[in-house]
Structure 1
Amino acid sequence: MERRTGRPFKADGEAKSVRIIETASRLFAEQGYAATSVEQVVAACGVGKDTVYRRFPSKLALFEGVVDHARKKTQARFQATVAAQTGDVMSRLRAAARWLLSTNLDPTLIAFQRIALSEALVVGQAVANNPHDPIMDRIVALIAEAQAAGALGAGDVRFLAGQMLNCIAVGPTVDAMLGRSTYATTRAQNAYFEKAWALFLDGARARP
């Protein structure tokens, strides 16, 4: 009888972990943290209870896994978006800013932020900002490059990055978290973005 190597077992284990995470992501987003149980996740994903608990020994550990998975996917999409831009630095910075708006309005991420607020004492650490944020680091680098090219005025690059994020994404994100659909369509997002981007540039653009 032919012996199986370790690779198929590893691939099967990774597939099960992804199935658990994706199922839990959907249930947490649809129902919230308090209303979702590990038993519901087990039933919905078709993986044995022992298998789930070996990977995630508690509901909090499962939610932390969900948030970490979402964070990694978001970072990968951001890097792909920036890498696809071939224009000058301001074109790349603009694309990154537009991506920030649409990503911060993603329904699943909005749901996770609602959970973070409503269950802050329970899940606060799961969604706490990481000391190292590759997305913000890349935006900081783009702003520094734009300053070096004379397209943006001098100033603290991290402060400018934070102000860009506030200008572009914070208002619509709060609006969505309150259950409104003001920016649910691409057309509405585009209209808002053009105004917000112009406002950011008016404050940050190099002066003659």
Structure 2
Amino acid sequence: MTQKGGRPRKADGEAKSIHIIETASRLFAQQGYAATSVEQVVAACGVGKDTVYRRFPSKLALFEGVVEHARIQTQAHFHSTMAAAEKGDVLTQLRAAARWLLAVNLDPTLIAFKRIAFSEALVVGQSVAGNKHDPIMDRLFALIKEAQRTGDLAPGDVSFLAMHLLNCVAVGPMIDAMLGRTTYASTRAQNAYFETAWKLFLNGARRGAS
């Protein structure tokens, strides 16, 4: 549907942009950055070349759009997860955040994008890295600070504890997945790893631990 003068409604334009981004996301994840061309995205989308280039004037701009879309979706999923955990105490909420961190760092599409960021660092690394505000880490910091206030965690540098938690629960499996292994592909395997990693974090962070 169009407005007067044949101009598409804003919603139609946004839907088309999302369609292009989702198609590009699939191709980048399946083929990598170097092997994916804008022309392939155009063909897969079934839209005109000008339609894509008006929104994304280069392949790098298209990949930036893909990464930004993934970032927004990831944040929305995190907020949904945490909303479901808000009735619990602070350690229950922190545990939910930690379990989410493991799952999201094993997401196949995000793993593919991380591979691109590493393998194509000279092309896309600086462009997509950015020092953008991260509400997910802000929430993690706040939960750790609150757990320290309640005495559930020992006093200490909040950012250090947050990085320690991230390393405990997510970094090892993420590297494993980036190397093409499927060690933690199943929910059962993730749960087993997480239980051990979570206990390790708590035993090192609880008040009075030696």
| In 1, Cα distance between equivalents of 2:149 and 2:5 | 53
Aligned residues: 207
Unaligned runs of 5+ in 1: none
Residue number in structure 2 paired with 1:9? 9
Shift in CA distance, 194/34, structure 1 to aligned 2, threshold 3 Å: same
| In 2, Cα distance between equivalents of 1:205 and 1:38 | 52
What is the letter of the counterpart of residue 21 of structure 2?
I
Shift in CA distance, 78/107, structure 1 to aligned 2, threshold 3 Å: same
Shift in CA distance, 144/7, structure 1 to aligned 2, threshold 3 Å: farther
Residue number in structure 2 paired with 1:160? 161
1:149-204 deviations in Å (ceiling 9; x for gaps)? 11000001111001100111000000000000000000000000000000101111
For the aligned residues, what is the CA RMSD? 1.8
Q: Per-residue deviation at 1:127?
A: 3.0
Q: Per-residue deviation at 1:32?
A: 0.2
What is the letter of the counterpart of residue 105 of structure 2?
N
1:79-98 deviations in Å (ceiling 9; x for gaps)? 11111111100000000000
Identity fraction in percent: 76
Q: Per-residue deviation at 1:131?
A: 3.8
Residue number in structure 1 paired with 2:75? 75
Tell whether 2:63 aligns with 1:24: no
Shift in CA distance, 131/12, structure 1 to aligned 2, threshold 3 Å: closer
Shift in CA distance, 114/3, structure 1 to aligned 2, threshold 3 Å: closer
1:94-152 deviations in Å (ceiling 9; x for gaps)? 00000000000000000000001110000002431534111111000000011111100
Q: Per-residue deviation at 1:5?
A: 9.4
Residue number in structure 2 paired with 1:37? 37
Shift in CA distance, 78/7, structure 1 to aligned 2, threshold 3 Å: farther
What is the letter of the counterpart of residue 24 of structure 1?
A
CA contact (8 A) 2:3 2:9 kept: no
Residue number in structure 2 paired with 1:179? 180
| In 1, Cα distance between equivalents of 2:68 and 2:103 | 20
Q: Which range moved further: 34-43 or 131-140?
A: 131-140
TM-score (norm 2): 0.94
SS of 2:133's partner is coil
SS of 1:84's partner is helix
Unaligned runs of 5+ in 2: none
